Structure 1
Amino acid sequence: MRYMATYDFMETMRNTNEWLGATAKAIAAYPAVAAVPNPFFSYLGAWGEVTERSMARMVAKPDWGIDTVVGEDGRDHVVSVDIEVPGAFGDLIKMHVQGREPMRRKILVVAPMSGHYATLLRSTVASLLPDADVYVTDWHNARDIPVEEGKFDIEDYTLYLVDYMKHLGPQTHVIAICQPAPLALAATAYLAEEQPAAQPRTLTLIGGPIDPDATPTEVTDFGNRVTMGQLEQSMIQRVGFKYKGAGRTVYPGLLQLTSFISMNIDSHSAAFSRQIKRVASGDASEHDKHNKFYDEYLAVMDMTAEFYLSTVHRIFKEGEIAQNRFTVAGKKVDIGKITDVAVKTVEGEKDDISAPGQCKAALKLCTGLPEEKKAWHVEPGAGHYGIFAGGSWRNNIRPLVLDFIDQNSGPRAVSNPSKKKAG
């Protein structure tokens, strides 16, 4: 499957379906159709509208959509997205609240590179902005990265996090969500040996696979069932000629989306059927619940092949983080070297992706950390998405995380060696 023609064929199919949707919508809107008293044309137009929108969203990066935040002065402050540290494979961005004094809390939100853009954490970031200065890892779509920029695997991802932590300084509080949790833990341990003063104050790990075998799920079972050769042959393709990354081997976003949808095909089919009926009857709107969810869910990005394959091989199959034998650039990273960074894990009771126990395993690995600097929370009744973006996050987990940050914001040198050196 590793051919540009295969990649381009998938894009052709997506583009064709978008065109079919637009055509159906145009036919139903033709004035002469109004003279035919048949509901068929209403449903044809509704199907076209939903289909065109859905297919178009698959290749578009969503906007953050966070325009303002209310400050302590009671005024609305404009929010801009500024690039703090640019990079070939991702940027560190700052959600800059204009006209507001620097906040007491400084939070780095580490977004997953697992098929969706960092904007998947929009509601998480928006909920933190009133109480903190927020920075986010904004990973790039691999299809847009030229081949000459080289590889990007989990070691490179870890070193990106190391650079971000150095840049932001020792008063930073890191929140890693889902997939990057083990790599954020490794980055902190890396700094513990290489540059201890640059370590963050706290590290909150939410629903991440620190030890995937602690409580197996369908995701971990899949990783154990298939061989690396099978994954490489069935999942990896080369970017087609349409994009800047032509020739780069990737795990395509469209292929990932197929996997996402197939896991819950019945619920997705029902959701789209209901939406078509709502559009046909005039009950749908531009920003209704369906569009709000699927505009983000359908927006997928390609991952570099080496990142996807090394994640499956080293995190899930070999358990290098779980067994504390992860290496970066030939250097072993000892998680036991973390001695003064408070670590908290958050899990959802009904998380079927990273089940309870997988994330908490991080605390056992932190053998050099005093027990008073360790904390964990299992949210009753919460699934994977809910622990960082749903009602469970807003009403319970977010306040607990902020309290944890405040309790562990004791004195530490505030100098930032990396910035001084740059100056």
Structure 2
Amino acid sequence: MLYQLHEFQKALLQPVSSWARAASEAFINASNPASKVPGSDRLAASYELLYRLGKDYKKPEFGIRSVMAHGKEVAIHERTAVAKPFCNLVRFKRFSDDVEVIKKLKEDPVVLIVAPLSGHHSTLLRDTVRTLLQDHKVYITDWIDARLVPVEDGEFGLDDYVHYVQEFIRTIGAKDLHVISVCQPTVPTLGAISLMASAGEATPASMIMMGGPIDARKSPTAVNNLADQKSYEWFESHVIYNVPPNYPGAGRRVYPGFLQHTGFIAMNPQNHLQSHWDYFQNLVRGDEQDAEAHIRFYDEYNAVLDLDSKFYLDTIKTVFQDYSLPNGTWKVAGELVKPQDIKKTALLTVEGELDDISGSGQTRSAHALCAGIPKENKDHYEVAGAGHYGIFAGRRWREKVYPKIKTFIREHQNTKKTATRTTKSA
């Protein structure tokens, strides 16, 4: 019922939001007499803020058209390499007409970014992708909103997530691949690579784990405490709802994205109120640069997706209640996950000093679990002054974290590639 009420509220707000946008434009249109009314700038800003608070936020695009690579601007073409019911493996293919640049592009390491499936779209890692494209061939998991997946496509659980990651690694080719997992997927990514190692399969050259709950018992945050204090049955009965009839996934049991979004807002309500007040002030002053920065952030932050209920509940129980991975009891499709079997994959963990989602030590716990990896092939980096988002987006990501990751990847390349022929893409 809650989902239906949310949809009803959205339907009510749409005409109000559209009217607010039209009113805002009227008060800033120089050819409109209304723009000459005293205080029209404040009225326009008020209506614009009302519009943004009430509008429906769609999934943003990555929108990466070009990057600077090897001293030249190269074109980027986004394409789907593998299409699955709940996820697309997306490649950002780089193009150049410069023969020397093409040669260098082809020699760059290959990176798979495993994006979180935790309420926000994979485009939240746009800055991560754009930065990595300067020196790497980049793939990313682009998760699909569960409300758009028909019920006949079946459920999607944590085991399925692990199998998706394995399939993507095999498709790209494990030997020369570097896997970067950000936040929630550190657990299923470690599970996927562990199972591949146990089966005697080739494993990636390196795995880079950033701000994830490998062992959520360490430095528990508000997110960890909520999952630990409520029972599995409470989550099943209080936060799982059926997708309404107006979506392709009608009838699917999901954890709605709007609940996740509400939870994130509730964690720091004062910060969000201040941000919207600052946006209003910027509009009044005509500070377009800061106003645009606010719009870009909230266009991403307010765009959410639903999670299949099985995946959400599996994650709550396995990761945040039973701590199955650090306890050595996690089984995927009946197979025990044994990180100690990983021997040929280098490990880098990254944590933010001020991370309030994955606390200090949670990601670093991977080092003790991966006892089979030689010490010289392990490293840990704590980012001073960085919160959760700061380790994969923004200035600290670009200036501190990325150089560390770039160096680590090159130190653990399995092969030194030499281009034997040139084409116009890499």
Match of 2:176 in 1: 171
Offset of residue 286 of structure 1? 9.4
Match of 2:199 in 1: 194
Name which of structure 1's ranges 206-215 and 369-378 shifts more when overlaid on structure 2. 369-378
**Which amino acid in 2 is paired with 1:87?**
K
**Which amino acid in 2 is paired with 1:15?**
A
Aligned ranges for residues 273-422 of structure 1 at < 5 Å? 273-284=277-288, 288-411=292-415
Residues 162-209 of structure 1, C-alpha deviations (whole Å, 9 max, x = no match): 001111111100010101001111100011022422x10000100100
Supply the distance in 2 between the matched residues of 1:226 and 1:293 (Cα, whole angstroms): 31
Determine if contact 1:325/1:334 at 8 Å carries over to the other structure.
no
Determine if contact 1:20/1:48 at 8 Å carries over to the other structure.
no
Residues 34-92 of structure 1, C-alpha deviations (whole Å, 9 max, x = no match): 288453x644432332332344353x1101121102233x4422211110111000011
Determine if contact 1:57/1:295 at 8 Å carries over to the other structure.
no
- Output the aligned Cα RMSD: 2.2
| SS of aligned partner of 1:81 | strand
Unpaired runs of 5+ in structure 1? Answer: 414-423
Aligned ranges for residues 62-141 of structure 1 at < 5 Å? 62-72=60-70, 74-99=71-96, 100=102, 101-141=105-145
How many residues align? The count is: 406
| SS of aligned partner of 2:55 | helix
Supply the distance in 2 between the matched residues of 1:55 and 1:144 (Cα, whole angstroms): 22
Determine if contact 1:17/1:51 at 8 Å carries over to the other structure.
no
Whether 2:180 is the aligned partner of 1:181: answer no
Offset of residue 133 of structure 1? 0.2
| SS of aligned partner of 1:112 | coil
Determine if contact 1:67/1:79 at 8 Å carries over to the other structure.
yes
Match of 2:237 in 1: 233
Supply the distance in 1 between the matched residues of 2:35 and 2:340 (Cα, whole angstroms): 75
Match of 1:53 in 2: 52
**Which amino acid in 2 is paired with 1:145?**
V
Determine if contact 2:279/2:291 at 8 Å carries over to the other structure.
no
**Which amino acid in 2 is paired with 1:196?**
E
Determine if contact 2:17/2:55 at 8 Å carries over to the other structure.
no
Determine if contact 1:206/1:387 at 8 Å carries over to the other structure.
yes
Match of 2:22 in 1: 26
Offset of residue 122 of structure 1? 0.4
Percent identity, please. Answer: 36
Supply the distance in 2 between the matched residues of 1:195 and 1:15 (Cα, whole angstroms): 54
Q: Rate the CA distance shift 1:280–1:318 in 2: closer, same or farther, 3 A.
A: same
Supply the distance in 2 between the matched residues of 1:172 and 1:380 (Cα, whole angstroms): 28
Q: TM-score, normalised by structure 1?
A: 0.91
**Which amino acid in 2 is paired with 1:22?**
S
Match of 1:420 in 2: none
Supply the distance in 2 between the matched residues of 1:219 and 1:363 (Cα, whole angstroms): 23
Supply the distance in 1 between the matched residues of 2:79 and 2:219 (Cα, whole angstroms): 39
**Which amino acid in 2 is paired with 1:193?**
S
| SS of aligned partner of 2:134 | helix
| SS of aligned partner of 1:244 | coil
Name which of structure 1's ranges 303-312 and 9-18 shifts more when overlaid on structure 2. 9-18
| SS of aligned partner of 2:209 | strand
Q: TM-score, normalised by structure 2?
A: 0.90
Q: 2:208 aligns with which of 200, 204, 209?
A: 204
| SS of aligned partner of 2:76 | strand
Supply the distance in 1 between the matched residues of 2:56 and 2:220 (Cα, whole angstroms): 33
Supply the distance in 2 between the matched residues of 1:36 and 1:135 (Cα, whole angstroms): 51
| SS of aligned partner of 2:298 | helix
| SS of aligned partner of 1:389 | coil
| SS of aligned partner of 1:409 | coil
Q: Rate the CA distance shift 1:282–1:71 in 2: closer, same or farther, 3 A.
A: closer
**Which amino acid in 1 is paired with 2:253?**
T
Offset of residue 390 of structure 1? 2.4
Offset of residue 27 of structure 1? 4.1
**Which amino acid in 2 is paired with 1:20?**
V
